[in-house]
Each structure stands twice: as C-alpha cells, then as structure tokens.
Amino acid sequence: MPSDSFDVIVAGAGLAGSLAAAVAAKNGLKVALLDRNKDDEVGKKTNWGWVCGDAVADSHIQYIKSKLDISFDYPELDVKVDGVLVLSPDLEYKVPFEGSGYVLNRPAFEYKLMKYAVKCGAEYMPQFEVEGPIIENNYFVGVFGKDKGMQHREIRAKVVIDALGVATTLRRKLPENPYVDKVVDISDVESTGRYIYDFDVDHQDERFYDPKNALIHLNQEWAPGGYGWVFPKKGTRVNIGIGVQRQSLEIRNMKMNKKDTLHTLMDQYVQNNPVIKNPRLFNDNNNGKGYWSVAVRRQLDCLTFNGYLGAGDSMAMPNPISAGGIGPALISGIMAGEQAVRSIQSGDVSVSGMWRYNLEYNQEYGKKTAGLEVFRTWMQSLNNDTINYGMKVFLTAKEAEDISYGRIPELSITSKAKMIIQGVSNMNAFNNLRYVVKKMKVLNDIYENYPKSIEGFTKWREMVKAEMEEAKSKFQPNPM
Ligand SMILES: Cc1cc2nc3c(=O)[nH]c(=O)nc-3n(C[C@H](O)[C@H](O)[C@H](O)COP(=O)(O)OP(=O)(O)OC[C@H]3O[C@@H](n4cnc5c(N)ncnc54)[C@H](O)[C@@H]3O)c2cc1C
C-alpha cells in the first residue's frame, strides 16, 4: 500500500473521530486520523476552543467502556453530577433529565481519546486541514487538503469517516444523492456561547448554582428558543452559557424593543446570576470563552454514502431538546469504526453494503430523536407564562423525564384530559402537547421500522417528511 493510501481515513479527531479511528485500528485496519489542530490541542472545535457545556450522562461513558479497554478518571472527568435539572422560567419547578453524569475537562478528555486511537494503531496527522473529498465513480475514495507544511496533499482510502463536526466540509461536498442531506435548516440550529469562570459564591441558591447538579434554565427572555446552563466544575468553577434560536431571538428583540445578541445575552445571563460574584475567566488552553453552533434536529435520515460514513455533529446527532451531542458522538464514532471494519472485510463499501450502520445507530440512540424534534418545536412556540404553567400542571417530573428519554407517557396524559386547565392559551398549549405526544408515538413507531435495507428507504423517508412537515407547520417560534 503506498504511504498515502489507507483502509480508513477518519476526518476530524474530536470525540466521534478518535473513537472511530481507535475501533478501526484495533481491528487491524490501516487508519489515518486527520485533525486541523496541533497535537496538544486535538479536538478543538474552532479558534474559540473546545466550545461545549461538557456535560455527559454516565450511561454514555459506560457505553465506551463496554466496547473498548479504556477507563476514565480525573482529570478528564472533571466533576461528577447527580443529574441535570431543568428549571422553569419562574424558577419554581425543577425537572430531572438524563440521570447522573460528568462535566468533562474537554481538552484532557479529547487528548486521552486521541492517544488511545494512536495506541490502537491509528496514524494521527495533526495540523491537516481537510478541504474536500476525492470522489471517483460516485464513491468517496479519499480526501484532499493542506498538511502541516501547508502543502496540498491527497490521501486515499477505502472508507472515509466524516467526523468533522457541525461545519463539516465533507458532507457539504457530497455528490447530489437521495440519501444524505448536504444542508441543515437554520431553524434547526442553535447559536451558542459559553464561558468558563472561577467565581466567589455570593450566597447559596441552588436554583442558580448547584455543585451537585447541572442546571438548565428555560427562559424565553434570557435565551429565546433555547436555554441557559450553569454546569459545575471542580472547586467553584462553572461552565456557563446559553443557546438561542436565531428566529426566536429576532422576535423576542422586536417584541421587547431590544437589540440583544448572543453575546449581550450571555453577559446578562452571568450578571443576573445572584450566586456568581466576581467571575474570573478560567482561560487555560485559551478555552475560557467561545461561540459555536449546534444542530437540534433528528440525525440525518441516512448516515452513509458510497465509501462514506458520517458520525457525531457532522450528521446533526445532538439531542433535539438538550443539545447533548457528546453521547451520540461517542456512540456513533464507535459504530462507524465497526462498520468500516465489516465493510472492508466484506469488500462492499457501497451505501447498501454499509446500511447496517444506519440500523445500529437508530436502534441505540437515533429512533427517539424525530419525536424529540417535534417536542422541541412545540416548546419553542411557548412563552414563559405557558412554560411555567405547563411545568406545574401538564406533566409530572417523572413524565417529563420519560420524554427526555424518548418514552411516551401516554396513559397519564390521557387521564389528564379531565383536569381543569385555566386560561385559553394554556388549554391550547395542553391540546398541542397532546398532539405532540401522539406525534412522538407515531414517529417512534416509524423509526422502530427503519428500513432493513436500502430498498425501503425512499418510502420510509417520505413518511418521516410528511409527519415532520405536518407537525412543524403547527408550531411557529413565539417566545413572547
Ligand atoms: C456551546 C455548546 C454547548 C454544548 N454543550 C453540550 C453539553 O453540555 N453536553 C453535550 O453532550 N453536548 C453539548 N454540545 C454538543 C457537543 O459539543 C457536540 O455534539 C460534540 O462535540 C460533537 O463531537 P464531534 O466529535 O462530532 O465533533 P467536534 O467536537 O466538533 O469535533 C470535530 C473535529 O474536527 C476538526 N475539524 C473540523 N473541520 C476540519 C477540517 N476541515 N480539517 C481538519 N479538521 C477539522 C475540529 O477541529 C474538531 O477537532 C454543545 C455544543 C455547543 C456548541
């Protein structure tokens, strides 16, 4: 094999990429792992750093451990949390979400995964800027880009794994095809930003800072179409930020006669936190402040093309209601690596030959996300008063938690049809919730029946599209 020829190219050494490379290399394949960052900055998403809330459920860490001989500890697991708590805008109700987990030291976590991939035999190529795919006969057969010395370079492989994150250049340069979408709708993308701060505790108030829990604030004024978060780190350090939907922000500004931006809202969010006194940017690795985007829709309908597998944010995998993309990236990275091994062994790297990856990801995580996308769209159509009322009256904490896992609390919702709801807008919101829950069930059933082979895909996709379009046309962003 020539030196620039590999079995697998993994583009992007973030979470999904390093794990995909580790799995493929561990199974004896010749693997190139490319990332634009320097060795000691592996996984850095942008010049702004490793921009993320860094909260991950323990179940996702356990998933990696069940698949690979790797263990995790401090410092990469910065702090353990009992769970994620979602607070209503009036701060009176708290709903648990996703169970216990960790807030990561992201640079350390990424470095550990990359080192593990290298230990498994992957060749890591830092400072390689991937510029596009090499496509022959409608198959991905490699990538081109600029290497460490800024030289144009082409690298070839039987399979290319796209783990370049949300701004992936590879997916955008796919040939026209009926499987993988090249573009994600802007209304399904959150603009996000966060700081990492050391601070003095002004006084205890667990609605604003809880060293044992990751807090999420739903509030259409503070973070229109998204939410704010305060995630504890070691000592009195926090990862604090907000995500907003662009259209919701515009509406909110218009109705409030304001000109806020993501940046001004982030600063207000910190300033308005009464527990955080004297915040000091914790800027190790130049990672104290940053902005980036996260897609909050169902993962792309198909995750593979001829010679191509996508994993993590490149496939819009973050959870539509929490924007949690670390778990999906870890899961899909491992599965994409496994699929590359199977397809190369069988000699079939066509879409059809790699179809099993779609099925496995769908079964492990993906099947709940279309329903959650509908739930998210409904949430974005509610103002603070309705969210307050809904969190108090519509759902028990257990039911809300069930929804976060994609489970449908069917019976209790039906029984609540008899309860007395005050106000027309609350009644409308409740009726809409019943519609949403029904639609979630329909979508979950459709995803349970994800096509076993490529043949059924077009028809299946039309069904999904019809359901999504109907649901989304019902709810428009309406933060105020
Ligand atoms: C502000 C914010 C907060 C978030 N909070 C959370 C949270 O608390 N919990 C959670 O679970 N998820 C969260 N997410 C989502 C989570 O960060 C992502 O889902 C996760 O990082 C996806 O991992 P990935 O490996 O797919 O992609 P990435 O982490 O984006 O990694 C992609 C890698 O590819 C490299 N790369 C990109 N383009 C090129 C190129 N052309 N050439 C070479 N290299 C390239 C990048 O530099 C990077 O190293 C958040 C996201 C944001 C933006």
Q: Is there a single domain that holds both residue 395 and residue 433?
A: yes
Which of 279, 294, 309 marks a domain boundary?
294
The answer to whether residue 470 is domain-embedded is yes
Strands 308-310, 304-305: pairing is antiparallel
Nearest CA to ligand 1 atom 7: 53
- Residue partners of 260: CB distance under 8 A and separation at least 6: 249, 252, 253, 268
Q: Evaluate if residue 415 carries a pLDDT over 60.
A: no
Q: Evaluate if residue 413 carries a pLDDT over 80.
A: no
Distance from the alpha carbon of residue 214 to the mean position of ligand 1, in angstroms: 20
Instruction: Choose which residue among 23, 34, 37, 45 to substitute to test ligand 1 binding: the one with the highest number of ligand atoms within 8 A of its C-beta.
Output: 45
Q: Is there a single domain that holds both residue 44 and residue 140?
A: yes
Distance from the alpha carbon of residue 33 to the mean position of ligand 1, in angstroms: 16
Nearest CA to ligand 1 atom 37: 164
Q: Is there a single domain that holds both residue 283 and residue 311?
A: no
The answer to whether residue 88 is domain-embedded is no
Which of 365, 382, 402 marks a domain boundary?
365
The count of structural domains within the chain is 3
Integer Cα distance of 475 and 85 in angstroms: 25
Q: Evaluate if residue 2 carries a pLDDT over 80.
A: no
pLDDT confidence bin for 123, thresholds 50/70/90: very high
pLDDT confidence bin for 419, thresholds 50/70/90: low
Q: Is there a single domain that holds both residue 379 and residue 392?
A: yes
Ligand 1 atom closest to Cα of 291? 1
Other Cβ atoms closer than 10 A to 256: 13
Residue among 326, 328, 329, 348 at smallest CA distance from 339? 348
In a 3-state reduction of DSSP, which class is residue 407?
coil
- Cβ neighbourhood burial of 242 (10 Å; 0-12, 13-18, 19+): buried
Ligand 1 atom closest to Cα of 16? 25
pLDDT mean over 239-268:
97
Distance from the alpha carbon of residue 15 to the mean position of ligand 1, in angstroms: 8
Give how far Cα 67 sits from Cα of 8, 149, 331, 333, Å: 20, 36, 10, 11
The CATH number that applies at residue 275 is 3.30.9.10
Instruction: Choose which residue among 9, 35, 286 to substitute to test ligand 1 binding: the one with the highest number of ligand atoms within 8 A of its C-beta.
Output: 35
Question: What are the backbone dihedrals phi and psi of residue 88, each rounded to the nearest 5 degrees, phi first?
Answer: -70, 160
pLDDT of amino acid 410: 60
% of the chain beyond a pLDDT of 90 = 87
Ligand 1 atom closest to Cα of 60? 11
Which of 332, 365, 398 marks a domain boundary?
365
Distance from the alpha carbon of residue 325 to the mean position of ligand 1, in angstroms: 8
Lowest-pLDDT range, 357-361, 409-413, 429-433?
409-413
The answer to whether residue 192 is domain-embedded is yes
pLDDT mean over 31-51:
95
pLDDT of amino acid 417: 56
- Residue partners of 90: CB distance under 8 A and separation at least 6: 384, 388
Q: Is there a single domain that holds both residue 275 and residue 130?
A: no
Q: What is the pLDDT of residues 149-188, one digit of tens each?
A: 999 999 999 999 999 999 999 999 999 999 999 999 998 9
Distance from the alpha carbon of residue 72 to the mean position of ligand 1, in angstroms: 20
Ligand 1 atom closest to Cα of 103? 8
pLDDT confidence bin for 426, thresholds 50/70/90: confident
The CATH number that applies at residue 151 is 3.50.50.60
Q: Is there a single domain that holds both residue 34 and residue 145?
A: yes
Q: Write out the E strands in 40-188.
A: 55-57, 77-81, 83-87, 94-97, 101-104, 123-125, 129-136, 139-146, 152-162
pLDDT of amino acid 239: 98
Nearest CA to ligand 1 atom 5: 53
Integer Cα distance of 366 and 425 in angstroms: 33
pLDDT of amino acid 317: 98
Distance from the alpha carbon of residue 165 to the mean position of ligand 1, in angstroms: 5
Integer Cα distance of 325 and 369 in angstroms: 12
- Residue partners of 224: CB distance under 8 A and separation at least 6: 244, 245, 248, 249, 251, 252, 477, 479
Instruction: Choose which residue among 164, 285, 330 to substitute to test ligand 1 binding: the one with the highest number of ligand atoms within 8 A of its C-beta.
Output: 164
pLDDT of amino acid 99: 85
Ligand 1 atom closest to Cα of 243? 1
Nearest CA to ligand 1 atom 27: 165
% of the chain beyond a pLDDT of 70 = 97
**470, 373 Cβ separation under 8 angstroms:** no
The answer to whether residue 318 is domain-embedded is yes
Q: What is the pLDDT of residues 174-232, one digit of tens each?
A: 999 999 999 999 989 999 999 999 999 999 999 999 999 999 999 999 999 999 999 99
Nearest CA to ligand 1 atom 13: 324
Nearest CA to ligand 1 atom 39: 164
Q: What is the pLDDT of residues 53-79, one digit of tens each?
A: 999 999 999 999 999 999 999 999 999
**Structural domain of residue 35, as residue ranges?**
5-72+105-181+297-365
Q: Evaluate if residue 391 carries a pLDDT over 90.
A: no
Q: Is there a single domain that holds both residue 306 and residue 427?
A: no
The answer to whether residue 321 is domain-embedded is yes
pLDDT of amino acid 121: 98
Q: Is there a single domain that holds both residue 26 and residue 166?
A: yes
Q: Evaluate if residue 414 carries a pLDDT over 90.
A: no
Q: What is the pLDDT of residues 101-120, one digit of tens each?
A: 999 999 999 999 999 999 99
Q: Is there a single domain that holds both residue 338 and residue 469?
A: no
pLDDT of amino acid 84: 94
Q: Torsion over CA of 106, 111, 113 and 118, rounded to 10 degrees?
A: 170
pLDDT confidence bin for 390, thresholds 50/70/90: confident
Q: What is the pLDDT of residues 286-320, one digit of tens each?
A: 999 999 999 999 999 999 999 999 999 999 999 99
Q: Is there a single domain that holds both residue 143 and residue 272?
A: no
pLDDT of amino acid 114: 98
**479, 380 Cβ separation under 8 angstroms:** yes
Q: Is there a single domain that holds both residue 263 and residue 310?
A: no
Ligand 1 atom closest to Cα of 318? 19
Integer Cα distance of 18 and 107 in angstroms: 13
The answer to whether residue 419 is domain-embedded is yes
Distance from the alpha carbon of residue 117 to the mean position of ligand 1, in angstroms: 18
Q: What is the pLDDT of residues 84-102, one digit of tens each?
A: 999 999 999 998 887 899 9
Nearest CA to ligand 1 atom 8: 53
pLDDT of amino acid 74: 95
Q: Is there a single domain that holds both residue 286 and residue 356?
A: no
Q: What is the pLDDT of residues 330-386, one digit of tens each?
A: 999 999 999 999 999 999 999 999 999 999 999 999 999 999 999 999 999 999 999
The answer to whether residue 441 is domain-embedded is yes
**Taking CB atoms and a 6 Å cutoff, what residues make up the pocket around ligand 1?**
12-17, 34-37, 43-45, 51-56, 128-130, 163-165, 169, 192, 194, 241, 292, 294, 312-313, 318, 323-327, 329
In a 3-state reduction of DSSP, which class is residue 26?
helix
The answer to whether residue 100 is domain-embedded is no
Q: Evaluate if residue 418 carries a pLDDT over 90.
A: no
